[in-house]
Structure 1
Amino acid sequence: MAEPALALSPLTSPAEQAVLNADYGRLAGEARLLPVKVTAFYAEKLAAELAALGHTEGPLHRVVYPSRARLSQRAPGEVADFVDDRANMKTASKAIVQKYADRVLFLATPLCAAHCQYCFRQDVLSEMHGDDPADLSDKLDALVDHVRAQPAVREVILSGGDPLTLSPDALHRVLARLQGLDQLHSIRLHTRCAVFAPQFFLKGEKYRLLAGPRLRLVHHIVHPYEVCGAVADLLARLGGLGVRQYNQFPILRGVNDDAGLLALHLRRLDEMGVRNLSIFAPDPIHYSAAFRLTLDRLFALHDRLSAETPSWINATALTFDSPLGKFRREHLVSRDRAAGTALFRHRGRDILYHDLPAALDGPGDPATLLWRGDTV
């Protein structure tokens, strides 16, 4: 006999969340989405959030666990891979992606410490998880050959997956090979490990490798409550070594879509010596509608930041991504509200962007988003 369906209330209980997790697990296998994966370190934050709220609609839960809207909402124009990583893979190695003449992206690993529900690279990473992993030395050889063949390349961006999940030896090998390329002005590492698993930095003292010449560390911290004492200590340790630390993050419905929260988040990062580079609009990929905002609301939040905060906060850019690379709201050419589309022009080419229907959008509740009662 089938189990009776759980009655759904406006707020999701832990029992209802377990049903959503099971439903999502089945969907993930069919739709090439990443499975739920949460570290014990992050789970402690989730437990505190659940104890305070009594439900799983809190911002940190939405980061790593599926919501009802994640499973049910779909929006026009969704695709599997909006940034079209595959079309920009310039060699036989799937690990090398290039959109710009002066920059190369290296997918050092498909693995992450935990999985973000809003990840824009789910389709590609799901595919890479199923492949036999190439030897890192082979991938590194291909990367070095590719960079040397293009004198215009000045930066290599290490992403994935998360490069901080590499072993100390593997990370050392990657950085040593790249630091041996005099043409590079910058080597950038993007990571969520600071908030998911700060111990990954400490293993084999990997954090010391990040203080090398031309290195820049870019965190992806999406909410102020991701920075607990252990994370703050790690950021301070990195800063004490002279590591250049930056941050960038997406603006996510139900997670951080509030001007006061954004100002608080950016101010705290600045106080810890972390410079925020940009706030991203989530890509219109399959099953992303639960996190997206309309362009009108994105622009309004960005306008409030610009009007109500000092320059070291409001200098952060509102950015979109595309197969042609990053573009900004300043590149907006026209909008067709009836069709729900916007036309941006970037690098001499048009980008058609499908806006989120207003009926699917709704601002997160500040009392839930900032459940500790913080004020700006």
Structure 2
Amino acid sequence: MKHEPLRTNPQRQGIVNESFEVLREREGLLPIKVSPFFKRKVDDEIKHLGHTEGPLHRMVYPTNERLIIRAPGEVPDFVDDRVNMPPDTTGNIIQKYRDRILFMPTSTCVSHCQYCFRQDVLSEHQHSDRNMFTNSVERLSGYLDTHTDAEEVILSGGDPMTLSASSLAKIFEVIKAHRNIRSIRIHTKAISYNPQLIIDERKLELLSAADVRLVFHLTHPYEVCDDVKEAIAKIRKAGIRCYNQFPILRQINDHHVVLIRHLEQLDQLGIRNLSIFIPDPINFSAPFRINLARLIGIIERINWFSPSWINSTRFVMDTMVGKVRREDMAEYDLHAGVATFKRDGKSVAYPDFPAELDVPGNLETMLWRDNVSLV
């Protein structure tokens, strides 16, 4: 029988944070980092709930689970980022698909998401003496010269929107010099953590002129405060196409009501949600993962209880063979707790999150501002 964990009060949270600092130094995790803008939202959540188990708090601060719970099959890098880093690119380029190149010009984030799926790579770069941006753009140019099949460059990181306008201009200039590149995409969480970093007038001009597709990582409806809404309106007014993608995270948004609420709000703001990601089975990811059987139930309820412009979003899992969906599941061994997915003739084994560890989020906690009841 599953029981909801004891809620941590603000006083106890300080002890959890100190214990996490020891863990993260030993295991190479990212340190706690919360922007003043986002901390105000978290503090308001704590004030309303009286504890630190709310969805916004869990995004950026560790929990007791983060310290003590591990799940079978956890690995440092499930999607093989390192394997797909070409030599002599200083770890800034990942190419898993023939037509797309992922470029990481910075390891800096506005805040650190506790659920980050690239913690080992980013923490390694943060402890490096070299400046990630130094020579990286020149190396990107040389790589594009020799990989003419590429049609899209995706800027990720870290958060590319932490870069200065002049740095972004340099990147765009190099990319635009290669006529085979048809699309530039930027992935950013800054819209939630510090939207001012995006709506700088010079940056908006650059994004618009480069015809960038801007992909936000908004994960919960309460991230979208009035300031964020105003920033999104300003970005759209500048003629920049806005998209979103986010992970489904246990006790943050793991209920069809929360997800539908979030997707409806994004739609009202003129943002197209591309994907909802299933968390990678990486080290210390247990507080955020969901058992596949329960996940399928959530997907079905979204399909049943939302219109097509909401339920058309994709539920995907990133793997070493590329992104896969529920439809790509070839078999599931309940005894072993392993699902096998197939793509392009290749198979990947996914260690499912154990059902006995899968304590669902409480709807009243996840939507504390709405005073909802279970549906």
Report TM bin, short chain: over 0.9
What is the alpha-carbon distance in structure 2 between the residues aligned to residue 205 and residue 256 of structure 1?
35
- Pick from 47, 51, 54 the counterpart of residue 50 of structure 2: 54
Q: Which amino acid aligns with 1:19?
A: I
Written as runs of structure 1 = structure 2, the 5 A alignment for 1:227-306 is: 227-306=224-303
Q: Unpaired runs of 5+ in structure 1? A: 1-8
Q: Does 1:141 align with 2:138?
A: yes
Q: Does 1:313 align with 2:310?
A: yes
What is the alpha-carbon distance in structure 2 between the residues aligned to residue 136 and residue 26 of structure 1?
29
Q: Which amino acid aligns with 1:72?
A: I
Q: Secondary structure at the match of 1:124?
A: helix
* Counterpart residue number, 1:30: 26
What is the alpha-carbon distance in structure 1 between the residues aligned to residue 131 and residue 110 of structure 2?
20
What is the alpha-carbon distance in structure 1 between the residues aligned to residue 367 and residue 40 of structure 2?
17
How far does residue 242 in structure 1 lie from its aligned partner after superposition? 1.1
What is the alpha-carbon distance in structure 1 between the residues aligned to residue 201 and residue 76 of structure 2?
37
TM normalised by structure 2 equals 0.96
Q: Secondary structure at the match of 2:117?
A: coil
Q: Secondary structure at the match of 1:290?
A: helix
Contact 1:185 1:214 in 2 (8 A): no
* Counterpart residue number, 1:4: none
How far does residue 217 in structure 1 lie from its aligned partner after superposition? 0.3
What is the alpha-carbon distance in structure 2 between the residues aligned to residue 47 and residue 360 of structure 1?
28
* Counterpart residue number, 2:65: 69
* Counterpart residue number, 2:367: 370
What is the alpha-carbon distance in structure 2 between the residues aligned to residue 217 and residue 91 of structure 1?
28
How far does residue 135 in structure 1 lie from its aligned partner after superposition? 6.2
Q: Which amino acid aligns with 1:144?
A: S
The share of aligned pairs that are identical, in percent, is 46
1:175-210: CA deviation from partner (whole Å, max 9, x where unpaired):
222122211111000000000011112346312222
How far does residue 91 in structure 1 lie from its aligned partner after superposition? 2.9
* Counterpart residue number, 2:204: 207
Query: Matched residue pairs, number?
Result: 368
What is the alpha-carbon distance in structure 2 between the residues aligned to residue 156 and residue 83 of structure 1?
19
* Counterpart residue number, 1:117: 114
What is the alpha-carbon distance in structure 2 between the residues aligned to residue 261 and residue 352 of structure 1?
29
Q: Secondary structure at the match of 2:104?
A: strand
* Counterpart residue number, 1:3: none
How far does residue 244 in structure 1 lie from its aligned partner after superposition? 0.5
* Counterpart residue number, 1:218: 215
Structure 1 segments, 4+ long, off by >2 Å, are 132-137, 202-205
Contact 1:36 1:115 in 2 (8 A): yes
TM normalised by structure 1 equals 0.95
1:41-82: CA deviation from partner (whole Å, max 9, x where unpaired):
000001110111000000000000001111111000000111
How far does residue 137 in structure 1 lie from its aligned partner after superposition? 5.4
What is the alpha-carbon distance in structure 2 between the residues aligned to residue 236 and residue 328 of structure 1?
32
* Counterpart residue number, 2:327: 330
What is the alpha-carbon distance in structure 1 between the residues aligned to residue 167 and residue 242 of structure 2?
21
Contact 1:104 1:157 in 2 (8 A): yes
Contact 2:35 2:194 in 1 (8 A): yes
What is the alpha-carbon distance in structure 2 between the residues aligned to residue 136 and residue 68 of structure 1?
36
Contact 2:211 2:240 in 1 (8 A): no
Q: Secondary structure at the match of 1:108?
A: coil
How far does residue 211 in structure 1 lie from its aligned partner after superposition? 1.3
- Pick from 183, 187, 191 the counterpart of residue 188 of structure 2: 191
How far does residue 126 in structure 1 lie from its aligned partner after superposition? 0.7
Question: After alignment, is 226-235 or 180-189 more displaced?
Answer: 180-189
Contact 2:107 2:132 in 1 (8 A): no
Q: Which amino acid aligns with 2:23?
A: L
How far does residue 298 in structure 1 lie from its aligned partner after superposition? 1.1
Aligned CA distance change for structure 1 residues 170 and 213 (closer, same or farther; 3 Å): closer
Q: Secondary structure at the match of 1:351?
A: strand
Q: Does 1:150 align with 2:147?
A: yes
Question: After alignment, is 195-204 or 235-244 more displaced?
Answer: 195-204
* Counterpart residue number, 2:15: 19
What is the alpha-carbon distance in structure 1 between the residues aligned to residue 208 and residue 335 of structure 2?
51
